[in-house]
Amino acid sequence: MTLYDCIIVGAGYAGLSAAKALKEANRTFLVLEARDRVGGRVITQRHDDGTYVDLGGSYLGKEQPRMYAFAKEFSVETFDASTAGKKILVYRDKQTPYKGLVPPLAIWELLDMHFLIKRFEKIAKTVNLDEPWKTDNAIYLDNITLAEWANQHCWTKAAREMMSLAAETIWGARMTEFSALHAFFYAKAGVDLTTLLTSKNGAQDQLIKGGAQTIADKIHAHLGDDAVHLSEPVLKIDQSSGETADGVVTVTTAKTSYQARHIIIAIPPPQVLRISFNPSLPHPRRCLLQHMPMGSYWKYLACYRNSFWRDSGLSGEAASPDGLISVVFDASPKGSEYSVLMAFVVGENARALSSQDSDKRKEMVLSALAAFYGDEAKNPFRLVEHTMMDEEYIGGCPVGTPAPGMWTTLGPWLRKPFYGVHWAGTETSSVWSGYMEGAVCSGQRAAREILSLKK
């Protein structure tokens, strides 16, 4: 049996980046992916008429050098997301267009929001990104939820609801479900909260021509089909023959077994619990994984023959703290003959929406879109709906989020190797955690860990 230097579990951006780094270092490797395609949480749906939509991750932000380096290396074009025009806030049964970053709220609500965000950014700056548990006041901040922290520091309902909207949109989870420390960590890992929430020059600055899976497909082609086995979910990892960094690890998939000196696991945290380990994973590591649930998102792509919102001076960007749809963006491909509104139903609303059948869900979403853009929004030539909440090898979206108290008790276990097993995946990244950039960063870091070991 071939003895690989490394087997990589998962062909999302983390696993692919790890594989690419090992290839460039002339190491032997094999990528094992459960599904019949690469890209993981990034999936581009391509239609026969030449149109495409991104069902998973899609945006690139200005300060994401690793993804841009890939785009350059594989000659994949990126383009500015369309943002010109007014945004819309639908709140308290009122639809209000507005310019710039300041939403149309009462002056006292704006002041409250301003000071809340200012305070948030100030604390976030103090987070130790590599070891968040070493941040000043870490235990206190990790023991209160973001909701408790926001309640302590704002006095208007509007500011609380705006913070809640931001949280559910970023994490797909309610702000009662994770700690203030995690929120500060995550924001700093992606520059700051304002960057995460912003389109132009923020985290939603650009889109990838041909869809976000394009770069993953090109990395796959670069690695070669022989090096990436699709439709081979890993079921078992056996390190019992040598519990040292030099031991041989046997990996069993649904089809066969393989052997390697090292393993990189690059899959969503809760998915690790579905793999059988011998010896079993240390209890603290299991416990951490059991407390990192994936978020809840439904994503809707409404495709139109024309961008009627632009004709009315609207950018296509909209938000609603108390509606079914939380945020909308104009995700139209550059120079295309069709336009796309990308709408997110997040957190509690997403979980509730799942109890409806598809026709009812689409009807509800089109009505909500009409509350932003009028009845014209009710007639897309195509409406695609997608969620990863029920996908067998992902289990939720966009990201796994540690429960309160996890960082300061079990945080050190997040990246700690387990004999020959090393950990990647966007959730393990200390920069842009939760984003494609974080996935790449984590894969490259895990590859460096392997390369630093004796061959």
Ligand X SMILES: Cc1cc2nc3c(=O)[nH]c(=O)nc-3n(C[C@H](O)[C@H](O)[C@H](O)COP(=O)(O)OP(=O)(O)OC[C@H]3O[C@@H](n4cnc5c(N)ncnc54)[C@H](O)[C@@H]3O)c2cc1C
Options 267-275, 322-330, 362-370, 412-420: segment touching ligand X (CB under 6 A): 267-275
State the nearest-atom distance from the C-beta of 195 to ligand X, in Å.
Answer: 12
| Residue 34 is labelled as binding a ligand | yes
Residue 411 engages ligand X in binding (rule: CB under 6 A): no
User: Minimum Å distance from CB 35 to ligand X?
Assistant: 4
Query: CB of 140: closest distance to ligand X in angstroms?
Result: 29
Q: Which residue has the tokens 């690059």?
A: 266
Q: Which amino acid is at 25?
A: A
In terms of Cβ atoms closer than 10 Å to its own Cβ (0-12, 13-18, 19+), residue 178 is buried
Cis peptide upstream of residue 279 (ω within 30 degrees of 0): yes
According to CB under 6 A, which one of 56, 103, 190, 400 is a site residue for ligand X?
56
Part in contact with ligand X (CB under 6 A); list of ranges 100-108, 132-140, 237-245, 396-404 = 396-404
For residue 298, which phi and psi values (nearest 5 degrees)? -115, 135
Residue with smaller CB distance to ligand X, 122 or 448:
448
Instruction: Spell out the alpha helix ranges (H) of 172-282.
Output: 180-189, 193-197, 213-223, 269-272
Token pair for residue 41? 């949480």
Query: Is 33 one of the binding residues for ligand X (CB under 6 A)?
Result: yes
- Any idea how long the chain is? 455
Is 10 a residue that touches ligand X (CB under 6 A)? yes
In the bound state with ligand X, the residue whose beta carbon lies nearer, of 6 and 113, is: 6
Angstrom distance (rounded) from CA 126 to CA 48: 50
End-to-end CA distance of the chain: 18
Instruction: Pick one of 6, 8, 29, 40: the residue that binds ligand X (CB under 6 A).
Output: 40
The C-alpha atoms of residue 195 and residue 199 are separated, in whole angstroms, by 8
CA angle at 372 for the pair 321 and 103, rounded to the nearest 5°:
50
Nearer to ligand X, 192 or 437 (CB): 437
Q: Does 202 bind ligand X (CB under 6 A)?
A: no
Q: Can you read off the two tokens belonging to residue 85?
A: 């025009």
- Told to check if 309 binds ligand X by CB under 6 A, we report no
Under the binding rule (CB under 6 A), the answer on residue 228 touching ligand X is: no
Nearer to ligand X, 35 or 188 (CB): 35
Residue 341 lies near ligand X (rule: CB under 6 A): no
* 29, 117, 200, 442 from 320: Cα distances, Å: 47, 18, 19, 33
Q: Is 413 in the site for ligand X (CB under 6 A)?
A: no
Q: Is 86 exposed, middle or buried (0-12, 13-18, 19+ CB in 10 A)?
A: middle
Q: Is 33 annotated as a binding residue?
A: yes
Told to check if 439 binds ligand X by CB under 6 A, we report yes
Residue 279 contacts residue 239 (beta carbons within 8 Å): yes
**Contact string 342-381 vs ligand X (x = CB under 6 A):** ----------------------------------------
Please report whether residue 297 would count as binding ligand X according to CB under 6 A. yes
Please pick, from the candidates 6, 7, 8, 11, the single residue that binds ligand X as defined by CB under 6 A.
11
Q: Are 438 and 186 in contact (CB under 8 A)?
A: no
Whose CA is closest to 399, among 354, 351, 435, 349? 435
The residues facing 207 across adjacent strands are 79
Residue 147 assigned ligand-binding role = no
State yes or no: residue 13 binds ligand X (CB under 6 A).
yes
293 touching ligand X, by CB under 6 A: no
Number of residues that bind ligand X (CB under 6 A): 40
Task: Give the up-direction half-sphere exposure of residue 429: CA atoms within 13 A in the CB hemisphere.
Answer: 31
Q: Is 266 in the site for ligand X (CB under 6 A)?
A: yes
Nearer to ligand X among residue 41 and residue 415 (C-beta): 41
Residue 343 labelled as part of a binding site: no
Between CA 56 and CA 47 the distance in angstroms is 16
Contact region for ligand X (CB under 6 A) — 40-48, 92-100, 236-244, 316-324? 40-48
Q: H or E element: which one contains 407?
A: helix 406-410
Between 61 and 323, CB nearer to ligand X? 61
**Which one of the spans 34-42, 112-120, 125-133, 277-285 is the region binding ligand X (CB under 6 A)?**
34-42
Contact 167, 159 (CB under 8 A): no
Q: Could you list the residues that contact ligand X (CB under 6 A)? A: 9-15, 32-35, 40-42, 56-59, 233-234, 266-268, 271, 275, 297, 299, 388, 393-394, 397-399, 425-426, 434-437, 439
Binding-site annotation: residue ranges:
33-34, 234, 344, 427
Binding-site annotation: residue ranges for FAD:
33-34, 234, 427
